[in-house]
Amino acid sequence: MSKTKVGIINVTGYAGVELARLLSKHPTVELTSVTGRSAAGQPLGKVFPHLSNIDLTITTELGDVDLAFSAMPHKESAKEIIPLLKKGIKIVDISSDFRLKDPAAYPAWYSFNHPGPELLNEAVFGLTELHRSEVASARLVANPGCYPTGAILAFAPAVKAGIIKPDIIVDSKSGVSGAGRTLSLNTHFAEVNEDVSAYSLEGHRHLPEITQELSLLNKNMVPNITFIPHLIPMTRGILTTGYATLVPGKLTEGPKGKDELRELYRAFYKDEHFVKVVDFPPHTKYVSGSNFVLIYPTIDLRTGRLVVISAIDNLVKGAAGQAIQNMNVMLGFLEWKGIDAPALYP
C-alpha cells in the first residue's frame, strides 16, 4: 500500500523541524518535500544533524505532495497556502493565519489585511478534541496556538457545563522555544537564564483564539478573559494556571464539590486519547516531547473559585504533534498514529 506524500513548508523553524522528526517515523505517510529559504540547497541532515536519517534536500519550492504543513510565520503563511489549496492539496497551517473567523481581527491583532478572507469560515480550528468531525472533512485546518491549546482545554469542560462565571484569568508560563528560532535579545541566554518575565500585558495575540473558542462552547456565556503569558528559562513546555469564580449551586459545597468537578472533567474527556485528567498538579516535564495534555481541576474552597492547571509541550501538542493529530483525522488514520510516544523523563 502506497504511503500518503506530505511536505513541510519552512522546515527550518522549531515547529518545522519538530514536524520532520515526528513524520520521519510515521507508519502511513512519507515525508517527501521540505522547504526553507535560508537553507535551500542543503541536505536536511546537514542543517539538523539529528535528522541525518532523512534523505531530503531543503528546497525553495514544495514538491508533489498530497498534504502540506505550513510552518511559515503569520502573514507569510497565507500567501503560500492559497495557491496550494487551488491545486487540491490539503493543508494544516501551524501559523495563526486561518485561526480567527473575523477578518477584522487580523489588522487588529496581527497588523495585516488577510489575503483570503473568504477562506476563514471554511478553515477548521484544529483543536481536534473540540472539532474532530469538522477536521475529518476539512481541506484546510488551522492548527491552534500553543497558549490557546493549554488554556482552551483547561477551561472547556467548565465553560460547557456553565459552572463558572464569565470572568476568567489565564496565567501561562512558556519555555523559550515558543518564541521561535529567530535570534532576539529577549531570548538570548544571558537575558533569559535565571529570570522570569511577563509580557504582552496589553493583550497577547493568542487572546482572541481563546475567547473565540470558549464562546462557542456556551451560547449563554460571553467570556471576559485576562490572559498573561510569562517567559521562563527552559526550552520546552507550557504550564497554564486558570482561575474563575464558580456559579453558586452548580457543585456541592465543600470537599465533595472537588470530586464532582473532577468527574465532570473526566466525563468531558473520557474518549480523548491525548487528554488526561489527573489527581495531582502536573509538571511540564511530565509531557515533554509528547502530544499529551495533563489537566488538574480543583476548587479553592475558601474563595469558591475554580483553579485548573494544564501542562503541554509547546512544540508537540502546541504545534507539530497536534498538526499530525489533525492530519491523521483528515486522512482517516488512527488519531494517535505516529505521535503516541510517552514523555521524555527526566
Q: Which residues are catalytic?
A: 146
Task: Say if residues 16 and 315 touch (Cβ distance below 8 Å).
Answer: no
Q: In this structure, what DSSP letter does residue 346 have?
A: -
In the numeric block, which cell numbers belong to residue 49? 544533524
The answer for residues whose C-beta is within 8 angstroms of residue 250's C-beta and 6 or more apart is 161, 162, 163
Give residue 302's identity as a one-letter amino acid code: R
**Alpha helices per DSSP H over 62-206:** 76-86, 105-110, 128-136, 146-161, 189-192
Task: Say if residues 284 and 260 touch (Cβ distance below 8 Å).
Answer: no
The most distant pair of C-alpha atoms in the chain lies apart, rounded to whole Å, by 64
Task: Say if residues 152 and 210 touch (Cβ distance below 8 Å).
Answer: yes
> CA of 45: how far to CAs of 35, 42, 51, 160, 338, in Å?
13, 8, 5, 46, 21
In the numeric block, which cell numbers belong to residue 219? 451560547
> CA of 321: how far to CAs of 21, 35, 236, in Å?
10, 19, 13
In the numeric block, which cell numbers belong to residue 106? 487580523
The answer for residues whose C-beta is within 8 angstroms of residue 189's C-beta and 6 or more apart is none
Dihedral of alpha carbons 34, 71, 290, 125, sign: negative
In DSSP terms, which residues pair with 170 in a beta bridge? 227, 242
- Residue 112's SS3 state is coil
Overall size of the chain counted in residues: 346
